[in-house]
Amino acid sequence: MLTAEGCRGRRARLWESVGSDVDLILIATPWHIHYLANFYVSPNTLNVPSTSFLILERSGGTLLFADNWAARTAQDAWVDGLITFNWYNGRGPGRDRHAGVAAELGWWLRKRRPRRVAVESAHLPWVVAEVLRDLGAAMVDVTPTLREMRLRKDPDEIAAIRFAVQVAVAGHAAAHAAVQPEVTELDVYAAVHAAAVQAAGGVITMLGDFASGERRGGPPTDRMLRPGDLMIVDFFPIVRGYRADITNTYVAGQPSDAQRRYMDLLLRAKEAGEAMLRPGVTGGEVYAAVQKVFKEAGVAEHFPHHAGHALGLMHPEPPFFVPASKEPLQEGQVVTLEPGLYDPAVGNMRVEDDYLITADGFERLSNHVKGFA
């Protein structure tokens, strides 16, 4: 749960970034409403998909617009007021919930008559934009500022990510026990899901790669594991809006000598990347450190993707650990390292940890088993 202090701080920084002539800030994306007001709609209800809006006033006031189903979760939102559109009450036919909430906002804007409004330009509904144009209100785009703000996580965000990571760690403990001959990918997925839900104490959004055999990613199938098969479990759940992303490769039975060698290279490459995790280092430099281990071992052609990325409300987020990245690491970012090797003669393998960038280095957030332990 994001704190009142954290939400107020982010709103204050957002106001500092817009011009003094801006009257209102209008937020329309669910992730930024969550970021600024702790309004999070569970994915496991009729609340999804719904439309909500957050109004920030220069005076410091905050106003949330939502339909009557989504509004049921508004008790945790750090806002001063709530305007609700009666979408469906079980006694009469439901109306268009998206247009209805937008119409409520339009009605409020016509009364308020702002002169200049900061908006998320790519997510502003046409009907709301028309109201603002009719009022003669100028619009400025606040999206770049929000993206820049989200690079460095606040303490309440870090706490949310820590919790999501521990949920993912619980899922991996279940995967470690579940992967064995004569179980299916779906069996492993079910074990991971059950453990993660228990650890979260509630519903999560279950995302990840559960892939064995020739596949290196994708959802689970009914493929049965055979002795010696490798299975990549790249588990990236969403827990109350924030992400984790950790990976290990498990073996059904005993690994071959070639598989052991590749796993050792993966762990060494991850350690080389860790040595670069500190403020000021670019994403390209982190990638180069990881790739160097594979190049020196003569297996670089089997490493086809990024070496990691950041995460938070989204996955992936910048910075990206790719050759062309000149994005510098900053204190407060949460990033992953995920070296992988995919060789038809050996198998498909990947490991991954999550890290918080600190003033002088990093803190590893994930503590799941990696390798064939």
User: What pLDDT score was predicted for residue 3?
Assistant: 98
Contact 81, 62 (CB under 8 A): yes
What pLDDT, on a 0 to 100 scale, did the predictor assign at position 113? Answer: 95
CB-neighbour burial class of residue 344 (10 A; exposed 0-12, middle 13-18, buried 19+): exposed
Residue 24 and residue 57 in contact, taking contact as beta carbons nearer than 8 Å = yes
Q: Tokens for 340?
A: 């992988």
Give the phi and the psi of residue 349 in degrees, each rounded to 5. Answer: -145, 145
Q: Which of 27, 23, 45 is nearest to 36 (CA)?
A: 27
What is the DSSP pairing of strand 246-251 with strand 308-310? unpaired
The number of angstroms, rounded, from the C-alpha of 59 to the middle of its chain's C-alpha atoms is 31
The Cα angle at residue 356 between residues 352 and 358, in degrees rounded to 5: 140
Residue (of 179, 264, 156, 167) closest to 206 by Cα position: 167
- Cα within 13 Å of Cα(278), Cβ side: 6
Mean pLDDT per 10-residue run, the chain (373 residues)? 97 94 96 97 75 94 90 91 85 79 91 96 91 95 97 98 99 98 98 98 95 96 97 98 98 97 98 99 99 98 98 96 98 99 98 99 97 88
Rg (CA), the chain: 23
- The number of residues making up the chain comes to 373
Quick check: 318 and 310 in contact, CB under 8 A?
yes
d(CA 54, CA 81): 10
Pairing mode, strands 208-212 and 62-67:
unpaired
Domains and CATH numbers, the chain: 4-149 (3.40.350.10), 155-364 (3.90.230.10)
3-state secondary structure at position 263: helix
DSSP label of 154: P
pLDDT at 47: 64
3-state helix, strand, coil in the chain (%, to 5): 40, 25, 40
Sign of CA dihedral 290, 364, 41, 120: negative
Torsion on CA atoms 119, 125, 131, 136, rounded to nearest 10: 40
